[in-house]
Chains A and B, each alone.
Chain A
C-alpha cells in the first residue's frame, strides 16, 4: 500500500469512533488498531505469497509484526533535525532506544523534542521536514522487534 493511502486511512480513523480496521488488498494486509494515544499497526510489509524454496518446499508466511506509531502531542511545525544544517535525528532504518529524541515539533517557539517510547528501528517517517502537523498526527512507525 502507498504511504498516502495509509495516512488517509489513519486520518479517517482519527475522526471516527472506529478502533480497529482491517483491509486486504492486492496481496497486502493492513490492520490498524487504536488504543488511546498509541496505535498498533500490523503488518507494514506486504504479506507476500510464500515463496517456493528450492526443492519445492513452501516457506512459512511472514510473521505479523506490530509496529508502534509515534504521534504528535501538539499542533506545530515538524522538524527532522536540530537545525537546518544538522543531520536528521533519525531516518528509516535508524535503531532507536526508548527516550531517544526522534524529531522536533515547534509551536510558539517551544521546541517539543519528541521521544521514542520504545526500543526499535524506524520503519517509516510519515512527515516531511518543515511541514505542519496536527494534534495526534502520526509521525513515525517503529518496528520494536
Chain B
C-alpha cells in the first residue's frame, strides 16, 4: 500500500529524499517535479511519488501506462554541479542503480538495454526518462523519472506491447511490496548519484557494462532521420552507443530506439 504516511519518511539519503511528496493521481510525476524544481532553489533531493499518472511520459511524447494501485512511478529532483555535457551519465547511473536493486532485492536477472531501459529476459520492466533544464552552459535542474511495472496485470497494457513487456510479479510469480521496493530504489539512486558527483566515471561505465544486454549484439537503431544496423561495440565516455556498421565504418549514436536482434 502506498500512501502519504508510508511514503513521507520512507528514505532519507545524503542527497535524495529530503522531502517526499505523495499524490494519489497526477498527470506526470516529472511535470510535478519540474514545477517544484523551478519554484524552489533548495529542491535538490525532493522526490515526487504518485499512485497513478494520467499522462505518464515516455520519450518524445510517448505514453507510459500508469494504472493505480499496482506499479511505481516517481521522480527525483537533482541540481548537480557538473557541466551539462556530462549529465547523460546521470541516466546511465540511474539505470545501473535500478537494475542492481532489482537483482539484489528481488533476485530477478534485470539488465539494461542502451541507454537505460530496464529489461528482464529481453522484456521491458522499467523505463527512465530524464528531463534537464539548462541556461547557457549551466544546469538549472535535472528530473529523473522512473516507471516500474510491479504488480500490474499484463492485460492493462495495449495488446501490441504486451509481448515485449513484463512485470516483477510475472517474473517472481508473486506480488511485491511497492513501499519496500521504493525504499531500495531511492537508496540505490542516492548511492549512484554520490559516486557520480565524486567523479568516478570509469566505475560508472564499468558498472553499466557489467549490467547491460546491448553490447556485443547485432542491433537496429532508429532515430528520426535514419535507421542503422550493426554490432553494438561499446559505449563512449558520456554513454554514447558505438555501433560497428554492417556497411563498414563506425557510428556514434546519441539518441534513438535500439532493437536487439536475436542471433
Q: How many residues of B contact A (CB 8 A)?
A: 35
Minimum C-beta distance from B222 to chain A (A) = 12
Minimum C-beta distance from B69 to chain A (A) = 27
Given that A83-B61, A108-B92, A130-B224 are known contacts, is A135 also in contact with B85, CB under 8 Å in the complex? Answer: yes
Main secondary structure of the interface of A (DSSP, over half): loop
Q: Is A132 an interface residue (CB 8 A)?
A: yes
Minimum C-beta distance from B169 to chain A (A) = 25
List residues of A (39-81) whose CB comes within 8 Å of B's CBs: 73-77, 79
Is A74 touching B85 in the complex (CB atoms < 8 A)? yes
Q: Is B137 an interface residue (CB 8 A)?
A: yes
Contacts of A115 in B (CB 8 A): 133-135, 140
Is A112 touching B132 in the complex (CB atoms < 8 A)? yes
Main secondary structure of the interface of B (DSSP, over half): mixed
Given that A86-B61, A106-B255, A131-B225 are known contacts, is A117 also in contact with B135, CB under 8 Å in the complex? Answer: yes
Contacts of A5 in B (CB 8 A): none
Contacts of B115 in A (CB 8 A): 108-109
Contacts of B136 in A (CB 8 A): 37-38, 73, 117
Contacts of B254 in A (CB 8 A): 75-77, 106-108, 132
Contacts of A76 in B (CB 8 A): 254-255
Is A37 touching B137 in the complex (CB atoms < 8 A)? yes
Q: Is B147 an interface residue (CB 8 A)?
A: no
Is A130 touching B61 in the complex (CB atoms < 8 A)? no
Is B129 touching A107 in the complex (CB atoms < 8 A)? no
Which has the most chain B C-beta neighbours within 10 Å: A77, A84, A85, A117? A77
Contacts of A74 in B (CB 8 A): 84-85, 87-88, 134
- CA A110 – CA B91 in complex, angstroms? 7
Contacts of B62 in A (CB 8 A): 83
Contacts of A93 in B (CB 8 A): none
Q: Is B116 an interface residue (CB 8 A)?
A: yes
A interface residues with partner B (beta carbon < 8 Å): 37-38, 73-77, 79, 82-86, 99, 101, 106-117, 129-132, 135
